[in-house]
Structure 1
C-alpha cells in the first residue's frame, strides 16, 4: 500500500519540502519558499520534471504552508488534503531528550521550544512549521526528526566538555553534533555504493553555509565537529566555528557588547564573511582571490586548514580511513575546496584525480589513492520520509 508523506525542512526564512509516495520513495513534488516574511518571497517547485516559480509576498510560515498545500491541490498531485498521512519535520536540537525520531505531541513541542535557546536560528522556526501543519493538515501525523539523534552513539570521551561535571549532569552541557539526517544518509548511501568493507571507517564532510564533519564507524557516528550548539566546529559561511572561549568576555568588555550582541556576531558576522569582508559564498571568494584579494584567499586558506585538521583528528578516532565523502552545497560543487582540503592529506593515502574532481564525479580519487574519495549529493528529506513511515507502522 502506497502512502503520501511530506518531508519538511524549515529554515530561518525558508521552507524546503518534498512529497513522496512511500515506501516506493517516489518524489511527486519538490520545492522551496525563500524569504518568508519579506515582500520578495519566492516559491519554486518541480512537478514531473517541470519547474515553476511563483513570486508573491508570504507574511509568515502559515501563509507559506497554505500556498504549498493549495499548489498541490491545484496541480492535482493530491485531490484532498487527507491523502497526506504524515509530515516529517527536521528539528535542529533534540538535546538529551531525543535519540530517535518521535511523533509530535504537546510535550514534544514544549521540549523543542525549551531547546530553542541552544539553537536559536532553527528550533523556533522548526516549531512554527509544526504548528502550521497541525492547523492546515489536521489529519496528518506530525513527526520530529532531530539533527542530533544520529550522534547519540558518540562515546562520552568525545562528547564531554572538561567543565564541572554538574554542568553536564544537571544541564546537559555536552557535544551533541548536528546535520544528523545528512550524515546518516551519507553513511547508508556510501555503504550501498562502495560496500561495507570500503566504508568501515568513513569521514563525512557536510560543507554548506553551515558545515560539519562526522567520523562514522560501521555506520555509526563516533565524533562530530559541531558541539553543544551548531556554532562549534569548522569555520562556516557566517559562523565562527571553534574559538578560544576567553575571546567572548574580552569582546564583551572591550567593545561594551552584551551576550546577545556577541552571539549575533558569532553566528551572523563571522566565518568566511567575517574573515573576507566580502561574502560567505565560496564562489565569490574564489573569484576575489583570483583577482588578488588577500583576505578572500585568507578565508579560503583558513577554511581548508580547519577541515584538514578535523580529518586528521577523526582518522585517529577511526584508527585509519577507508572513505572520505564530500557533500552539501560546497562539498558537492566546489572542486576548489576539495582540492585545497586534500592536497595536504597525502600522508593518509589520499590522492585526487584532478579531472574527476573538476567534473564533480562520484569517485574523485586517483588510481593509486589508498583512500576512496567520493562526492555524494545528500538527501536529508528521504531520511525524514523513511523515519515517518517507520513510526507510522509502529503506531
Structure 2
C-alpha cells in the first residue's frame, strides 16, 4: 500500500506529486459568528464568586495585621529591659503572672469595609482582659483533654470504683492496725451469759473469744490475767466450742486431748464441710482411665482423686445415679470413702498371703485387699452382724473376688477357729 509501481523507463509515465494518500489536509475553517469576540462587554461575576473574592481579601488583610503585631511585640520586648514596671503592666502581665495568666484574645470580624479599615489602622497592642470565671484549673483540663484521648463513660465509672475500693481497703487496714494496737484481754462471760443456749449467743463474738483464748493459752505466762488459772481458760474454751459447733462435752474433751490447740479449729471446720463422693476402681476388671472415660460419656463430672492413689476418682455431679450405672453393676468400681483407702495402703497385702478382716462389712476394704492380692492366697472377711455380712457376699460376687471366705462370728472367739484353718 502506497508504493509506486516499478515499470520500464520508456513505457512508464512520469509520476508527479506525492500521491493520493499523501495529500495534505487544509487548515480548518470556522464560521464568522464564532470567531467574533465582543471585547467591549465585561464578564459577569456570580454572587458565589464575589464571596470568594471577599474572603481572599480578608485573609490577606489578616496576614498583614499579624505581621504588624509580631513586629510590635519584638520591639516592646527589647524596650522592656529599660522601662519601668508600670509600662509593663499596660502592655501585659508581670513575669510572676506570665506562667498562669493569659490575656483574652479578641475575635476580629471583617464583615464590612469599615472594619477592614479599622483593623488595618489598629497598631496599638491588645488590651489585657481577664474574666474571673476562667480559672487555671479549666485551662489545665483543656490542655489535658487536648493531649489525652476522650474516655468512655464505662472507663470513668471503673476508675471511680477502683478509687472507692482503694479507700475501703486503706480504712480496713487502718482499723486492723488499731485493733491490734488496742488489744483487749479476754472477757469472761457472766452467769447469765453462761446459761444462754447456742442459738441465742452471738456466733461472731463466740468465735472471736475462742481465738483469743487459744492465743492466751499458747503464751499463757505472758498473756494471762493475774487472777485467772489455766483451768478456767480451758473450761471457757470447751464451753464456747460446744456452743459454736453443737458438740457435747465428752466428745469435745476427746478432741482437745487428741489435737493441739492450734489445730482444733481447723479440724472442727473440716468436719463442717460436706464429704465428696469418691469411688475406687476395680483393677481386676478395668483401668481408671477407661472407667473415667465411660462415666464422662454418661454425663458424670469426674476427676482423679489425688496423687497418692492410683485407683481413686472424685465425682462432683452426675446426671445419672452413681449406684445404678452399668459399670457399677458389672463391678468396675466400688463406692468407697477416700479415708478407707489408707488402711489397705498401709497394710500393703501381697499375693499368696493370708489376711483377716475382722469387721469387713460392707466389703470396701476387703475387696480392695482381694484386688491387690490378685485373687491369690486367702482372705477372711468377718462381721458380727448377719445382715451386714450379706453385703460382703454381694460386693465380692459383683467385683469378682474369688479368694474370700465370708464369716459371721464373734471376734472374741475367732482365735479358736483360726487354728483349724
Q: TM-score range by the shorter chain?
A: under 0.3
Structure with larger Rg: 2
TM-score, normalization by structure 2: 0.23
TM-score, normalization by structure 1: 0.24
Q: Which has the higher contact order (CA 8 A, sep 6+)?
A: 1
- Which is helix-richer, 1 or 2? 2
- Which is strand-richer, 1 or 2? 1
